[in-house]
Every structure is written in structure tokens, then in C-alpha cells.
Amino acid sequence: MFYALLAYHDEDQVIAMSRAEDVAKMDRMNQVHGRLIAERRLGPAARLGATALARTVRDRGVVLDGPFAETKEHLLGFYILDCADEAEALAAVDALKAVNPEAVYELRPIALYLPGTSLPMSDFGLGVVRP
């Protein structure tokens, strides 16, 4: 069963992290990522660029700046998990939450998954650390 794991954060807190703090957090996250990869449960994952760079398309041909979310937390990343069941997926969420307690995670079953090619690493101005 595939699950989408959406990671929400207070973007201002993420941007305010020093490079050293970001590297330390990503090192802890990459330990969990490595374990999930070894268990063949982690699929594609992405750290999204700044919400200031987001564009919202509501109608064909109408593109607006930003996500216009009236919330403290913004969607800043996602994972695709391949787990036997919800309990196994929640165990993966617990492991990520343990090393990234500021995050709010939303777990949702995926009804349709279309695999594509892998993407190159990129930096969108959030102090993204490349593993």
C-alpha cells in the first residue's frame, strides 16, 4: 500500500535556522531516511521550495502568487511510503517525528501512483542541504 506523507512546518522557523542547525537536522532525518530505504519503504521524497516561490492555478490560464494559506504551517515537503499497512506507515511517521518534532505530518493513502523518473537535487533558497 502506498501512502503520501505530507510534512508541514512553520516556514519562518525553517528559514531562520542557521546552516549548521539545518545540516544537523538533515543528518538526523537522513538516518531515518536511510533506514526506511534499507527496509524498502521509502519512495520519492522532496523538500519543497519557499512558499514565496509557489504559484496557485485555480482556473486555466490564471496563475496567482503563493499558496494563500492562512495558517502558521505550510506544506514544505512530502514522502511516498510503501508500507504493508497503516500501522507500518505510522511507525515510519513516528521515526521521522522523533528527529523532527517541530513538523506536523499528515498521512494519506494513495489511490493512484504513477512512478516517474528520478529528479536531480536542487536548492530553492531554504538552505537545502544536499546529502
pLDDT, tens digit (0-9, with 9 covering 90-100), for 43-101: 999 988 888 888 877 777 777 776 665 666 788 899 999 999 999 999 999 999 999 99
pLDDT of 121 reads 59
Q: What is the pLDDT at residue 66?
A: 67
Q: Tell whether the model's pLDDT for residue 34 goes beyond 70.
A: yes
Instruction: Determine the Cα angle at 93 with ends 87 and 99, to 5°.
Output: 145
The top-level CATH class assigned to 2-109 is: alpha beta
Q: Which amino acid is at 37?
A: I
pTM score, whole prediction: 0.79
Instruction: Give the pLDDT score at 69.
Output: 59
Mean pLDDT of the chain: 84
Judged against a pLDDT cut of 60, whether residue 129 lies above it is answered with no
Q: Is the pLDDT of residue 115 over 80?
A: no
In our burial notation (b when 16+ CB lie closer than 10 A, e otherwise), range 116-127 reads eeeeeeeeeebb
Listed by start position, the domains of the chain span 2-109
Give the Cα separation of 130 and 121 in Å (integer).
7
**Positive or negative, the Cα torsion across 7, 11, 15, 20?**
negative
- Residue 105: its H or E element: strand 104-109
